[in-house]
Amino acid sequence: MDSQVDLRSIARGTPGFSGADLANLVNEAALFAGRANRAIVTNDDMQEARDKVLMGVERRSVVLSELDRVNCAYHEAGHAVVAALLPKADPLHKVTIIPRGRAMGVTMQLPEADRHTYTKEYLETQVAVLMGGRAAEELFMNHMTSGASNDIERATDIAQHMVCEWGMSELGPLAFRKPGNTYEADRAHTLSEATAQRVDEEIRKVVMTAYDHARTIVERNRNSVESRAQALLDRESLEADEIKALLATAGARA
Amino acid sequence: MDSQVDLRSIARGTPGFSGADLANLVNEAALFAGRANRAIVTNDDMQEARDKVLMGVERRSVVLSELDRVNCAYHEAGHAVVAALLPKADPLHKVTIIPRGRAMGVTMQLPEADRHTYTKEYLETQVAVLMGGRAAEELFMNHMTSGASNDIERATDIAQHMVCEWGMSELGPLAFRKPGNTYEADRAHTLSEATAQRVDEEIRKVVMTAYDHARTIVERNRNSVESRAQALLDRESLEADEIKALLATAGARA
Amino acid sequence: MDSQVDLRSIARGTPGFSGADLANLVNEAALFAGRANRAIVTNDDMQEARDKVLMGVERRSVVLSELDRVNCAYHEAGHAVVAALLPKADPLHKVTIIPRGRAMGVTMQLPEADRHTYTKEYLETQVAVLMGGRAAEELFMNHMTSGASNDIERATDIAQHMVCEWGMSELGPLAFRKPGNTYEADRAHTLSEATAQRVDEEIRKVVMTAYDHARTIVERNRNSVESRAQALLDRESLEADEIKALLATAGARA
Amino acid sequence: MDSQVDLRSIARGTPGFSGADLANLVNEAALFAGRANRAIVTNDDMQEARDKVLMGVERRSVVLSELDRVNCAYHEAGHAVVAALLPKADPLHKVTIIPRGRAMGVTMQLPEADRHTYTKEYLETQVAVLMGGRAAEELFMNHMTSGASNDIERATDIAQHMVCEWGMSELGPLAFRKPGNTYEADRAHTLSEATAQRVDEEIRKVVMTAYDHARTIVERNRNSVESRAQALLDRESLEADEIKALLATAGARA
Amino acid sequence: MDSQVDLRSIARGTPGFSGADLANLVNEAALFAGRANRAIVTNDDMQEARDKVLMGVERRSVVLSELDRVNCAYHEAGHAVVAALLPKADPLHKVTIIPRGRAMGVTMQLPEADRHTYTKEYLETQVAVLMGGRAAEELFMNHMTSGASNDIERATDIAQHMVCEWGMSELGPLAFRKPGNTYEADRAHTLSEATAQRVDEEIRKVVMTAYDHARTIVERNRNSVESRAQALLDRESLEADEIKALLATAGARA
Amino acid sequence: MDSQVDLRSIARGTPGFSGADLANLVNEAALFAGRANRAIVTNDDMQEARDKVLMGVERRSVVLSELDRVNCAYHEAGHAVVAALLPKADPLHKVTIIPRGRAMGVTMQLPEADRHTYTKEYLETQVAVLMGGRAAEELFMNHMTSGASNDIERATDIAQHMVCEWGMSELGPLAFRKPGNTYEADRAHTLSEATAQRVDEEIRKVVMTAYDHARTIVERNRNSVESRAQALLDRESLEADEIKALLATAGARA
């Protein structure tokens, strides 16, 4: 039985938290303390450092138009509500509309423990969470934007792993590709058009089913998404406990 | 939610205005001042420098035949009228038939603020603006020319991004390619002919719909295009306020 | 008549036990003895070294969630029961749920003698053993996980060799590819889509038949898998004789 | 609106007349004057130099069989008559059956001014002119020869630009490829077989229509082609005014 | 009319007996003599050296299971009987089940003279001889093994040459590929799927017909194969005259 | 109108007779004179040198079986009769069954003058001449051999040029490929399967028509082929005048 690399790395091309990452984390925390002229690294420094490492550096210099800002708030609120309501999703850690790295907003989930394997249900949930942003934009803003491009790419990647490597589709427990391997270059030649077509269909099925699921959840929980988006516009970032409180108030359900 | 690079860079392969671009801009302005033996860089120097950086250097040595010049005026007038009349289009900045770089004429739009995301409607508008030149040539000159080649290339690129990366077609929120990535080289192998065919059809639909839209606008506003083309033949360049005045006079509508 | 390289190497890319491997084995045994401050390398040191070389180094630092641990136990129990009951399978050597290398659990078979050729029945058996893990997860845990990814890859590789190089399908005794050979690069061009499609179908047939077989065996021997999984959760590793005893008790049959 | 590079360069891979070309031209003229022991470069030297630069160096050492010579005369006469009679064609400059470079004969057209864009009609005319040689061979010599290979290649190239880059076919204003660009390597993957087939059909339509047009013109002006071919066999080269005179005499019409 | 390189080299990638091979042969013979402390190289040394060069070095250290040994004996007996009974086959030289190189057993044929061309019948015979091993395994051992992998590869290679280079199929005297040639890289692009499919079918027909032929011969001569396999198990190697004697006794017929 | 490189170079990858070839020719003639201890290079030396340069060096050390020798004689006789009887064929220069280079026999034609273009009829004739060898083998030897492999390759190459570059098929005057050109790499992508299939069919039609033609000529002139093959077996080489005499005697007709 095999252990998998961190799912986040599948889409982002970086491995999970390595020793070097930890060293980096402590170093960043020390820098936050230093900038505040404190000799002691506090818990808050560590948390700020963790968020920077996980979500990218804040870029407060980026000026968003009001429309972009509102759109982003609903987009992240969509991710967050789907993540909060689906039972198999990793717990929410933080939602923010402060630009970080190349992202305009971030919805951060943190698993309760290291994951070594992923179940089909967990992966379907993750794809639904990724679709929550686009679904919210459509329902609240009545448009679709290029802001979902990374969500779309990651959702497609997960679906492809499910179908082509993890045997989680109707095509059954067969491998259909293995990247970065010269030996595989040969096998690729025997992937017929007929098979490629079935692979495409199964990948499509995974993503479209998750999208429909996300859309249903966002529609059914309009008030929760609305209140959360407003809270983001007011306060820019929401921590896990604030999110839970908002959901309880709104009577949300998956 | 992701922030996108400047749309202009998608077609032209150059990023938006970087720090180096700004340094370049200031430098060009200083050169304009220097050539005029002025010790102070005026606002006009800055504007001329900006136009040079954005649109390429003027090439007054290029001698156009009268036919090329008239054709170019109608082509740019077509772009300009579509851009001026579509509500989601970036505001017009300048229209000119003075050759610049490898362009014989330029219709320059400048967004009111930095764009971080693009809506589907905005992108459809941009493709329609790009089609306005060809449409005007057909309706006023009764021919089509190779002068639209860059418009065609950029329109196809935008349509491809909409369908393949931004989930803005009936194929839904799936990614169909990711350029310049070895990992992607593998995924390409599972893009079946059946899927490629549907992708081609959706790209075609985006461009053809925008073309029909542009043609309708140009037909419905024959007088506006005509008067603007004449103004270009008279004065070579039109600034934003002159364009607005012309449109108001002509009673144009989208 | 040709002798084949070790089947394990087909999936793992490493040849069988070479002279260097043997030197490594003895060295590892000496290290185990050294760590225990013993001047003499005992039989136990040799066995521990052999397991390390064959199955990877134990990684007791990896902390599995209880769910992962239970899932892994049923997964390995599935492999083990199928291997124990199929008459053509290599004898079981050891089953463990102590993480080793990138594996969370290992079911180790050791052939009674070096194998120089593989019969079709032996290969079909091996694919069924590989499918036993996924089958057990589905029947006992009621889910499927990414933990089967290496099983899936190895099963597909064996099926591909059977169909494309060893003439063991309805396509008959023809070769359909030969990796790592420039001469072959040409031949690939004459592998028509029609042939590639038939190759894909035959590979699929081998894996799906083996999967159905594995599922049937696991279903028919629910008690054996259950008791073996419980033993793994209690004791972490089971040696060959413990496994046999368990099977005899459970009255297992293929 | 874009300016295009010289059409001649599309087929021949060399740009239009650059500064270096001009220097070369003057140099060649000086050499002609030098060879004639004249201290002054005359207008004739300049013209001879221009023809050498545009059409390649004369190779009087090449000995043609009488059959090749006659065939060549009709081939060039075919080009010339089509070029002379189609209203959109660039004016004829010279026709010759003296071998130059790798050509056995040359029909040279010179545009009245630099062309910055090409209309669809102009390009269709050019393809018809290229087809005139083959058409004349078929009608007068009753055979077809490999002498049309460069005509065929250039005609196909122009048709491909019209369909794939300039939006001049029923496929509409879409781009179907962009050579020498790594970014484009990706797009190529989404060019489905269905689209490639339609592209092929449109390219074919352009060339075949032009060929039929050329054949009709040659048939309808048999006498003009005949007399021009005879003049070429007599005098080897015809200047523009001689050609016009011949046509007037023959009462030629497109 | 062209002379071909040695057929053995087609499958094995080594040319026929070169001068260097001869030097090697003499050297090997001298080593055999030297090991036996003989100053003179005998005829036996030369023969042993020849077998080593042609068939690979004996590897008596390889320990085969009894099953592998029996299987190998029937496999080689199958090759030998087909080779002995088909009139166009090269004469048998030696059959052995002593492992040599990566082979577990070898059936060696030696042509009576250098072959410069191959007839279609000779090539069909060679493919049938290659299929004799698999056929015998199936009929006597009631299984199929990976031991036929090199036979399968060589048979497919010969069939491919017959169809793609030597015009020996219903596709007629056309070339369908030429390996290791950049010029050919272009031609490959015009090998349509429809043609590739017909090529695949013809290659398949050659191999399957030869396989059926080999199977019929082995079935019809069960006793000959049986007695020859027993002789191999008793004596490990059979020389040409022993084989002929056995066949005469058994009353074998093709 | 373009001049083509020597047709022989199309198939053989070497250009026609260059200056260096001439120097080589004279040098070879001097060597022949030197070997005969003659101070003066005679006409015979020149002729022997020419044959060596055109046809490869004689390899009298190659020992052919009687069957190979007879087969070769009929093969070359087949080439020669077709070449002698088809009116558009280049005149025969020499026929020989003395091995030269990698050829076992050679039928040498020499055009009466340099060819700068090829007519469709001439090329069809050349393909028929190439097919004459295989046709004779089939009719007289009742078998087909690998000795025709170079004939097959050259015939396919000529047919491909006719269809893909010279517009000599029903596909019309379009180019379908241009080897060794990066620009062309792009165009290849638009060669659809449908077009590739039509190209394959036209190439096939050229070769098969020529093969049927060659077969008919050989059948109709059995006596001529027979007598010429016997003459070759008697005298090994036939000069042009001997061939003509034989044909006259036999009353041959195309």
Q: How far apart are CA C136 and CA C225, in angstroms?
A: 8
Q: Which residues contact C40 (CB under 8 A, 6 or more apart)?
A: C33
* pLDDT given for residue C212 in this prediction: 98
Q: How does residue F248 score in pLDDT terms, banded at 50, 70 and 90? A: confident
Asked whether residue F22 carries a pLDDT value surpassing 60, the answer given is yes
Q: What is the DSSP string of F137-202?
A: IIIIISS-BGGGHHHHHHHHHHHHHHHHTS--STT-S-----SS-HHHHHHHTT--HHHHHHHHHH
Q: Are strands F92-96 and F106-109 parallel, antiparallel or unpaired?
A: antiparallel
Q: How does residue C17 score in pLDDT terms, banded at 50, 70 and 90? A: low
Minimal C-alpha gap between C22 and chain A (Å): 26
Mean of per-residue pLDDT scores for chain A: 84
- Catalytic hit among B48, B58, B66, B76: B76
* pLDDT given for residue C250 in this prediction: 62
Tokens of E103: 């082979």
Which of residues A205 and B110 earns the better pLDDT score? Answer: A205
Tokens of A81: 């509500």
* pLDDT given for residue B177 in this prediction: 65
Which residue, B196, B158, B194, is CA-closest to B177? B196
- What number is the average pLDDT over the span F68-72? 94
* pLDDT given for residue F4 in this prediction: 61
Q: How does residue F209 score in pLDDT terms, banded at 50, 70 and 90? A: very high
pLDDT single digits (tens) D123-152: 999 999 999 999 999 999 999 999 999 999
Angstrom distances, CA of residue C63 to CA of C59, D17, E47: 9, 73, 65
Q: Which of B2, B5, B176, B183 to mutate to test the interface with A (most CBs of A within 10 A)?
A: B2
Chain C residues whose CB is inside 8 A of the A120 CB are 143-145
* pLDDT given for residue F251 in this prediction: 65
Q: Which residues contact F176 (CB under 8 A, 6 or more apart)?
A: E190, F163, F164, F165, F191, F195, F199
Q: Which of A80-89, D192-201, F9-18 has the lowest mean pLDDT?
A: F9-18
Among the partner-chain residues D172, D175, D189, the one whose CB lies closest to the CB of B211 is D172
Minimal C-alpha gap between F39 and chain E (Å): 36
Asked whether residue A208 carries a pLDDT value surpassing 50, the answer given is yes
* Burial bucket for residue B248 (CB in 10 Å: 0-12, 13-18, 19+): exposed
Which residues in chain B come in under a pLDDT of 70? 1, 3-18, 177-190, 249-254
Instruction: Give me the total of CB pairs closer than 8 Å, taking one residue from chain A and one from chain B.
Output: 141
Q: What is the DSSP string of chain A?
A: -BPPPPHHHHHHS--S--HHHHHHHHHHHHHHHHHTT-SS--HHHHHHHHHHHHH--B-TTPPPPHHHHHHHHHHHHHHHHHHHH-TTSPPEEEEE-S-BTTBS-EEEE--SS--S--BHHHHHHHHHHHHHHHHHIIIIISS-BGGGHHHHHHHHHHHHHHHHTS--STT-S-----SS-HHHHHHHTT--HHHHHHHHHHHHHHHHHHHHHHHHHHHHTHHHHHHHHHHHHHHSEEEHHHHHHHHHHHT---
Instruction: Give me the total of CB pairs closer than 8 Å, taking one residue from chain E and one from chain F.
Output: 137
pLDDT single digits (tens) D79-131: 999 999 999 999 998 999 988 877 889 898 888 777 788 999 999 999 999 99
* pLDDT given for residue A218 in this prediction: 97
Chains in contact with E, where contact means 3 or more Cβ–Cβ distances below 8 Å, are C, F
Asked whether residue A219 carries a pLDDT value surpassing 60, the answer given is yes
Mean of per-residue pLDDT scores for chain E: 84
CA end-to-end span of chain E? 32
Q: Which residues contact B103 (CB under 8 A, 6 or more apart)?
A: B55, B56, B150, D1, D2, D3
Q: Which residue type sits at A110? A: L
- What number is the average pLDDT over the span D47-60? 78
Which residue, E97, E69, E44, is CA-closest to E237? E97
Minimal C-alpha gap between C89 and chain E (Å): 15
Tokens of A221: 């929980």
Among the partner-chain residues C123, C165, C189, the one whose CB lies closest to the CB of E188 is C189
Asked whether residue C180 carries a pLDDT value surpassing 50, the answer given is no
Asked whether residue D6 carries a pLDDT value surpassing 80, the answer given is no
Task: Give percent helix, percent strand, percent coil of chain B, each to the nearest 5.
Answer: 60, 5, 30
Q: Do C147 and A4 touch (CB under 8 A)?
A: yes
Nearest chain C residue to E10 by CA distance is C183
Tokens of F69: 């020798």
Instruction: Give me the total of CB pairs closer than 8 Å, taking one residue from chain B and one from chain D.
Output: 141
Chain E residues whose CB is inside 8 A of the F180 CB are 182-183, 186
Q: Are strands D92-96 and D106-109 parallel, antiparallel or unpaired?
A: antiparallel
Which residue, B28, E209, F1, is CA-closest to C172? E209
Check contact D-F (3+ Cβ pairs < 8 Å).
yes
Q: Do C117 and E68 touch (CB under 8 A)?
A: yes
Q: How far apart are CA A110 and CA A113, in angstroms?
A: 8
Nearest chain B residue to D172 by CA distance is B208
The DSSP bridge partners found for residue C100 are C58, C103
Q: Which residue type sits at D239? A: E
Check contact E-C (3+ Cβ pairs < 8 Å).
yes
Q: Do F190 and D204 touch (CB under 8 A)?
A: no
Angle between helices A66-85 and A193-220 (to 10 degrees): 100
Q: Which of B127-141, D176-190, E223-237, F98-112 has the lowest mean pLDDT?
A: D176-190
What 3-state class would DSSP assign to D3? coil
* pLDDT given for residue C143 in this prediction: 95
Query: B75 and B133 in contact (C-beta within 8 Å)?
Result: yes
Model ipTM value: 0.84
Asked whether residue A40 carries a pLDDT value surpassing 50, the answer given is yes
Q: How does residue F7 score in pLDDT terms, banded at 50, 70 and 90? A: low
**Overall size of chain B counted in residues:** 254
The DSSP bridge partners found for residue B109 are B92
Looking at chain F, the number of H-run helices and the number of E-run strands are: 10, 3
Q: Do A165 and C177 touch (CB under 8 A)?
A: no
pLDDT single digits (tens) C19-51: 777 788 888 888 888 988 988 888 888 888 877
pLDDT single digits (tens) A167-187: 999 999 999 864 333 333 344
- Catalytic hit among F76, F124, F138, F202: F76
Among the partner-chain residues C120, C173, C185, the one whose CB lies closest to the CB of E131 is C173
Mean of per-residue pLDDT scores for chain F: 84
Minimal C-alpha gap between A124 and chain C (Å): 12
Nearest chain B residue to A69 by CA distance is B116
Nearest chain A residue to C69 by CA distance is A116
Enter the DSSP assignment of D100. B
Give per-residue burial for E81-92: e unless 16+ CB within 10 Å, then b. Answer: bbbbbbeebbeb
Q: How does residue C187 score in pLDDT terms, banded at 50, 70 and 90? A: very low
Mean of per-residue pLDDT scores for chain D: 84
Q: How far apart are CA E210 and CA E202, in angstroms?
A: 12
Minimal C-alpha gap between F66 and chain E (Å): 11
Enter the DSSP assignment of C51. H
Which of residues C208 and D194 earns the better pLDDT score? Answer: C208
Rounded to the nearest angstrom, the gap between the alpha carbon of residue E93 and the centroid of all alpha carbons in its chain is 11
Q: Which of F60, F75, F146, F161 to mutate to test the interface with E (most CBs of E within 10 A)?
A: F146
Which of residues E107 and B180 earns the better pLDDT score? Answer: E107
Chains in contact with A, where contact means 3 or more Cβ–Cβ distances below 8 Å, are B, C
Percentage of residues in chain E having pLDDT higher than 90: 49
The DSSP bridge partners found for residue A239 are A94
* pLDDT given for residue C240 in this prediction: 80
Task: Give percent helix, percent strand, percent coil of chain C, each to the nearest 5.
Answer: 60, 5, 30
Chain D residues whose CB is inside 8 A of the B191 CB are 189-190
Instruction: Tell me the pTM.
Output: 0.87
Tokens of C220: 């028919």
- What number is the average pLDDT over the span F112-140? 93
Minimal C-alpha gap between B147 and chain D (Å): 5
Tokens of A239: 């921590």
Mean of per-residue pLDDT scores for chain C: 84
Phi, psi for residue B135 in degrees, rounded to 5: -60, -45
* pLDDT given for residue C248 in this prediction: 72
Q: How does residue C151 score in pLDDT terms, banded at 50, 70 and 90? A: very high
Q: Do C193 and E188 touch (CB under 8 A)?
A: no
* Burial bucket for residue B251 (CB in 10 Å: 0-12, 13-18, 19+): exposed
What 3-state class would DSSP assign to D61? coil
* pLDDT given for residue D11 in this prediction: 38
Chains in contact with B, where contact means 3 or more Cβ–Cβ distances below 8 Å, are A, D
Active site (catalytic) residues of A:
76
pLDDT single digits (tens) C56-102: 777 777 778 888 999 999 999 999 999 999 999 999 989 999 888 77
* pLDDT given for residue F189 in this prediction: 44
Which of residues E212 and E30 earns the better pLDDT score? Answer: E212
Q: How far apart are CA E110 and CA E98, in angstroms?
A: 19
Q: How far apart are CA F231 and CA F242, in angstroms?
A: 10
Number of other residues whose CB lies within 10 A of the CB of residue A31: 15
Chain F residues whose CB is inside 8 A of the E161 CB are 146
Q: Do B182 and A180 touch (CB under 8 A)?
A: yes
Tokens of D203: 């390219």
The helix or strand, by DSSP H or E, that contains position D237, with its residue range, turns out to be strand D237-239
Minimal C-alpha gap between E42 and chain C (Å): 31
Chain E residues whose CB is inside 8 A of the F157 CB are 175
* Residue C112 annotated as catalytic: no
Q: How far apart are CA A84 and CA A248, in angstroms?
A: 11
Q: From chain C, which residues contact E within 8 Å (Cβ)?
A: 1-4, 113-121, 123, 161, 165-168, 172-175, 178, 182-183, 185-187, 189-195
Tokens of D73: 């005369």
Phi, psi for residue A237 in degrees, rounded to 5: -130, 145
